[in-house]
Amino acid sequence: MEVLIHPGYFPNCLTMAVIAQRKVVWEVWDNFQKQTYRNRCFIATDKGSLMLNIPIRHVGGKTGRQAYREVQIENSTPWQRQHWRSLATAYRSAPFFEYYEAELRPVFEKPPSLLLDLNLETISVMCGLLELPFPTSRSTKFETQPEGIQDGRLLISSKVKSSVTVREYAQVFQERHSFLKNLSTLDLLFNQGPAAREYLMTQELPWDD
């Protein structure tokens, strides 16, 4: 069965496992919500988990709501440079950072306009590096309870705990902090390299029987 999920910023391992194992449809007709993986991800540093946050422009309005597909990125601050420096500092000693560095760096060098487009680009790049097909299907309307498709939209929430456990793998600084969960798949890629694909293909999903 197809799975309906939101495009997130360099998604975490559980979301990428869904992309690797199932036919995905992107939810693009919802409203933007704060404190989700829509505009943030987490990486491992020597001090523990670090959030990389994308600043957005808040339009406002009578309801205070804004369609996700219309959210614009605030590029008045050098957030891309900050994200890249954080990644380079955190993973320079990881086994495979230099292996993927050249293909990832361009994502952080051109100012993006729309958050949705940027997120889809980060996922497309990740799929290319992991040798996975990039999903192109998109929702055509918003449905509170979609029929005929698995609803995986809660995966975008940073507050909702998953019913499955993400398997551990070797991480940089693991001796200091133990295994850090819910990190961007970039962490898996930099630490496991080509083996990351098999990891995602065999990760248990919330809807596995």
pLDDT, tens digit (0-9, with 9 covering 90-100), for 113-138: 999 999 999 999 999 999 999 999 99
Per domain, the residue ranges of the chain are 3-202
User: Angle at the Cα of 55 (from 44 to 156), degrees rounded to 5?
Assistant: 60
User: What's the mean pLDDT in 152-173?
Assistant: 93
Query: Hey, what's the torsion of the CAs at 15, 205, 149, 128, to 10 degrees?
Result: 40
User: What's the mean pLDDT in 69-89?
Assistant: 97
pLDDT, tens digit (0-9, with 9 covering 90-100), for 61-77: 555 689 999 999 999 99
C-alpha to C-alpha distances, 41 to 11, 12, 59, 139, nearest whole angstrom? 7, 7, 23, 23
Question: What is the Cα Rg of the chain in Å?
Answer: 17
Instruction: Using DSSP bridges, classify how beta strands 48-53 and 40-45 pair: parallel, antiparallel or unpaired.
Output: antiparallel
